[in-house]
């Protein structure tokens, strides 16, 4: 579903604007939630205020609200999120039953190729993981559902960027501010445009050690009935075990078939 | 961290109460998010209003706010959550790095016992899954991170309820309104109190087909340095493949050892 301006406003009620108090209070509450992380699992009032750009009074009001609602707990000095927060993301995932139905297909693919398989969708300049079936090998990066990665340097990201129109695509790539994450990372906008165009033509995408040294991944599109890639499926592995060539020659057909199976469920 | 009233209010600013506009707007926004589900992945304005107990005008305001913030998308008639919602749950999970560190221990346990392993925490009368390592067998129920189950009829739930004081425990069990989900489900409050007391004494808990016919599970506590069970770890399987007796005799020692390993990481 594309994000288009909706048409249901009546003349007596204007749509909320980013400056509205109502929008702002909600946005700030969500910013406070997002200020908690692996680096800051427990924060004082001052830390939350600093991390979310609020005054101490503003941060306190939001924290106490979140505490009243059971989303934050406190020992009197430190604040931490409660697991109730998971309900919100779970509302999204359970509203997308496709991923539960896709899981067995992904499991079978992992069994066949003995590499991890993930599914992701595009959000602005990032991909967000919506399902992951790991192999039982130790991975160098740990990615769970909800993890974000930049789209420009990932196989699923480039395939999903390929759905955008030319102007929007260039704008997203520029907004990504590409960084040389490894010595292989393509950062030049025109070179990235060419990579995305290639992904669009061939309907799959391989990225070789551009996100992290030693990490290779290959992606195929999950396509809705209108022929639009709404998500991507990938296999990722270690280059020293599975070269890009081996991945393309031996695993791509199984990946494309799995992506087609999942697409037919949409 | 226990949820205790915090002490930082200054006399010029009262803490927010559930009736405050600020709390209400936030609570309603979160209710609207939670109104989306597998049964209602895409909703009209009227459907959202009905599901979340708001007027059409109120629901519209929240939906447009969520759309402005990128958490909801619309085609003009229907609304749906976007994957950005996952950021909120991810903030919680990434603020609990213990679960990433626990994953390899859980993987090893699954390899050893060939049954699924999960971890959960208590939220009021429910347990919420925070990590799950499935076997590659087909399961009759699909549970992912963020899934909720009633505490009173699950092995992890009873073990976590055992941490509560007597009055609080009885109140939670009564608030659970136990239902005979199968012919084995214990629903009598005093009988449940005895089951929880047993779990407290033995420091593990087995539940045999009380949640679902054919489903057996056994749980061990994940204990912090103060000796308090802050989470639980379980193995679950099918009774026709793994009887309760086999689970207790052959898998409990490995489960207890895995739970001790994870506890030492806290």
B230 near A CB under 8 A:
no
Cβ of A89 within 8 Å of Cβ of B94? The answer is no
Encode pLDDT of A3-25 as tens digits: 333 333 333 445 566 556 677 77
The pLDDT of residue B259: 97
Contacts of B87 in chain A (CB under 8 A): 34, 89, 128, 146, 148
Place of tokens 């990433």: B100
The Cα–Cα gap between A143 and A266 comes to 25
B91 near A CB under 8 A:
yes
Cβ of A13 within 8 Å of Cβ of B60? The answer is yes
A14 near B CB under 8 A:
no
How far are the Cα atoms of A108, B67, B86 from residue A236, in angstroms, in the given order? 15, 33, 22
Place of tokens 């290959």: A218
Encode pLDDT of A109-157 as tens digits: 998 998 989 999 999 999 999 888 877 665 545 677 888 999 999 999 9
A226 near B CB under 8 A:
no
Of B262, B226, B233, B261, which is closest to residue B1 (Cα–Cα)? B226
Q: How far out from the chain centre does Cα A99 lie?
A: 14
Backbone angles phi, psi at B28, to 5 degrees: -70, -40
Cβ of B89 within 8 Å of Cβ of A40? The answer is no
Cβ of B92 within 8 Å of Cβ of A86? The answer is yes
The Cα–Cα gap between A22 and A205 comes to 42
Encode pLDDT of B91-148 as tens digits: 788 777 788 788 889 989 998 998 989 999 999 999 999 888 877 665 545 677 888 9
pLDDT bin (cut points 50, 70, 90) of residue B15 is: low
The Cα–Cα gap between B27 and B32 comes to 9
Structure tokens at A24: 């702002």
Q: A63, A89, A121: best mutation site toward chain B, by most B Cβ within 10 Å?
A: A89
B140 near A CB under 8 A:
no
The pLDDT of residue B78: 95
The pLDDT of residue A19: 58
pLDDT bin (cut points 50, 70, 90) of residue B262 is: very high
Contacts of B111 in chain A (CB under 8 A): 136
Which residue of A27, A75, A146 is in closest CB contact with B89? A146
pLDDT bin (cut points 50, 70, 90) of residue A206 is: very high
Domains in chain B, CATH or no CATH each: 21-85 (1.10.10.10), 96-265 (3.30.450.40)
Contacts of B32 in chain A (CB under 8 A): none
The Cα–Cα gap between A116 and B259 comes to 26
Burial-class residue B6 by CB neighbours within 10 Å (0-12, 13-18, 19+): buried
B8 pLDDT above the threshold of 60: no
Residue B257 near residue B194 (C-beta atoms within 8 A) = no
Residue A206 near residue A216 (C-beta atoms within 8 A) = yes
A169 pLDDT above the threshold of 90: yes
DSSP helix/strand/coil, A122: strand
Which of A 48-67 lie inside 8 A of B, CB atoms?
57, 60-61, 64-67
The pLDDT of residue B9: 37
Structure tokens at B163: 């941490």
B19 near A CB under 8 A:
no
The pLDDT of residue A2: 39
Q: How far is A94 from chain B (nearest CA, A)?
A: 5
Nearest CA in chain A to B57: A13
A82 near B CB under 8 A:
yes
Task: Report how many helices (DSSP H) and strands (DSSP E) chain B contains, helices first.
Answer: 10, 9
A27 near B CB under 8 A:
yes
Of B218, B231, B217, which is closest to residue B263 (Cα–Cα)? B231
Residue B247 near residue B237 (C-beta atoms within 8 A) = yes
The Cα–Cα gap between B106 and B186 comes to 29
């Amino acid at each position: 579903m594309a994000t288009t301006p909706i048409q249901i406003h009546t003349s007596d009620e204007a749509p909320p604007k980013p400056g509205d108090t109502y929008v702002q209070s909600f946005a700030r509450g969500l910013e406070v939630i997002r200020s908690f992380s692996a680096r800051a699992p427990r924060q004082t009032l001052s830390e939350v205020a600093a991390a979310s750009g609020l005054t101490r009074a503003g941060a306190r009001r939001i924290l106490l609200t979140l505490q009243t609602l059971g989303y934050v707990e406190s020992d009197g000095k430190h604040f931490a999120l409660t697991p109730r927060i998971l309900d919100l993301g779970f509302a999204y995932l359970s509203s997308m039953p496709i991923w539960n139905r896709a899981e067995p297909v992904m499991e079978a693919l992992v069994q066949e190729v003995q590499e991890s398989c993930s599914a992701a969708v595009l959000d602005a300049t990032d991909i967000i993981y919506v399902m992951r079936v790991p192999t039982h090998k130790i991975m160098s990066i740990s990615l769970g559902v909800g993890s974000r990665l930049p789209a420009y340097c990932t196989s699923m990201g480039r395939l999903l960027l390929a759905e955008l129109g030319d102007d929007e695509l260039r704008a997203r790539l520029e907004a990504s501010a590409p960084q040389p994450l490894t010595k292989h990372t393509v950062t030049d906008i025109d070179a990235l445009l060419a990579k995305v165009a290639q992904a669009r033509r061939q309907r799959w995408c391989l990225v070789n050690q551009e996100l992290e040294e030693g990490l290779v991944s290959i992606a195929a599109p999950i396509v809705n009935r209108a022929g639009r890639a709404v998500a991507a499926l990938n296999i990722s592995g270690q280059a020293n075990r599975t070269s890009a060539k081996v991945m393309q020659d031996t695993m791509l057909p199984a990946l494309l078939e799995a992506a087609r199976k999942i697409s037919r469920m949409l």
